[in-house]
């Protein structure tokens, strides 16, 4: 299996969602998500778009007009293989392992797990998970689903230059403010 990244926005308590959706709407974070997951890196030997792997609940949380996420290979995981995606432009898999198999056959440039909690928990344990792009939301926000603990023996907080190099773009550094939200772009990388 080739490497992949997790991308997420989470509070200090690692809250990521509430009532089947995102707890906030932060446009510049969403723009960062779109850029990071769509970017085909310069050094990429992959010949096609990036792949995004998500659980069924996350798929349903994406507004209909935005899904499948354009210019990315959309892979949805559900144990129910009769689940109807209502589009030909996304592919259903019965497990994360199956999803990786299908995705690798596509030769994507990069692979991202984009949620939710169950997908992140499975992904973060795999040695192939090389990067965690984490938008840290500094507010206390009521959440009912959580990102898994990031083991400091497994991952270290990268510096800002490493984050910018990974997304091949300038990224605002330090605490950002949007409406009532304060947030910061971070990246963790797997220890060698
Ligand atoms: N990672 C980060 N950093 N922030 C997030 O909000 C986030 N959300 C998810 C996964 N990782 C994340 C899962 N939820 C869309 C909606 C929900 C969602 C992921 C993506 C979405 O509609 N994206 C569009 C852009 C929409 C817009 O411009 O408002 C896309 O094309 O990526």
pLDDT tens digits for range 119-167: 999 999 999 999 999 999 999 999 999 999 999 999 999 999 999 999 9
DSSP state of 86: S
Q: Among 32, 33, 58, name the best residue to mutate to test ligand 1's pocket (greatest count of ligand atoms within 8 A of Cβ).
A: 33
CA of 6 to the centre of ligand 1 (A): 13
As given in the structure block, the two tokens for residue 113 are: 């797990």
CA of 8 to the centre of ligand 1 (A): 9
Q: How far is CA 82 from CA 100, 158, 162, in A?
A: 19, 41, 42
To the nearest whole percent, how much of the chain has pLDDT over 90?
95
Residue boundaries of the structural domains of the chain: 18-190
Pocket flag, ligand 1, residue 113 (CB < 6 Å): no
CA of 30 to the centre of ligand 1 (A): 5
> Which single residue is written with the structure tokens 């990315």?
72
How far is Cα 137 from Cα 147, in angstroms, rounded to an integer? 13
Average pLDDT over residues 32-36: 98
Nearest to 61 by CA among 88, 22, 93: 22
Nearest to 72 by CA among 101, 50, 100, 102: 50
Tabulate helix, strand, coil % of the chain (nearest 5): 25, 30, 45
Pocket flag, ligand 1, residue 30 (CB < 6 Å): yes
CATH number of 18-190: 3.40.430.10
End-to-end CA distance of the chain: 17
* Residue range 60-77, pLDDT digits in tens: 999 999 999 999 999 999
> Which pLDDT does position 43 carry in this prediction?
81
Asked if the ipTM is above 0.85, the reply is yes
CA 30 to chain centre: 11
- Are 156 and 191 in contact, with CB atoms under 8 Å apart? yes
How far is Cα 121 from Cα 20, in angstroms, rounded to an integer? 17
How far is Cα 100 from Cα 88, in angstroms, rounded to an integer? 19
How far is Cα 185 from Cα 160, in angstroms, rounded to an integer? 9
CA of 88 to the centre of ligand 1 (A): 20
């Amino acid at each position: 299996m080739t490497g992949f990244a997790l991308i997420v926005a989470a509070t200090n308590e690692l809250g990521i969602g509430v009532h089947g959706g995102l707890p906030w709407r932060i446009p510049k974070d969403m723009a960062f998500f779109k850029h990071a997951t769509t970017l085909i890196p310069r050094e990429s030997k992959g010949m096609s778009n990036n792949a995004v792997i998500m659980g069924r609940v996350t798929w349903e949380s994406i507004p209909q007009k935005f899904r499948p996420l354009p210019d990315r290979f959309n892979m949805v995981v559900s144990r129910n293989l009769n689940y109807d995606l209502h589009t030909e432009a996304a592919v259903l898999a019965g497990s994360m392992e199956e999803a990786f198999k299908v995705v690798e056959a596509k030769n994507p440039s990069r692979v991202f797990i984009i949620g939710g909690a169950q997908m992140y928990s499975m992904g973060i344990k795999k040695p192939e998970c090389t990067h965690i792009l984490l938008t840290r939301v500094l507010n206390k926000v009521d959440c009912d689903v959580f990102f898994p603990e990031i083991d400091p023996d497994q991952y270290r907080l990268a510096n800002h230059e490493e984050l910018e190099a990974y997304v091949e773009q300038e990224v605002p550094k330090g605490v950002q403010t949007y409406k009532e939200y304060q947030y910061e772009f971070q990246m963790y990388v797997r220890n060698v």
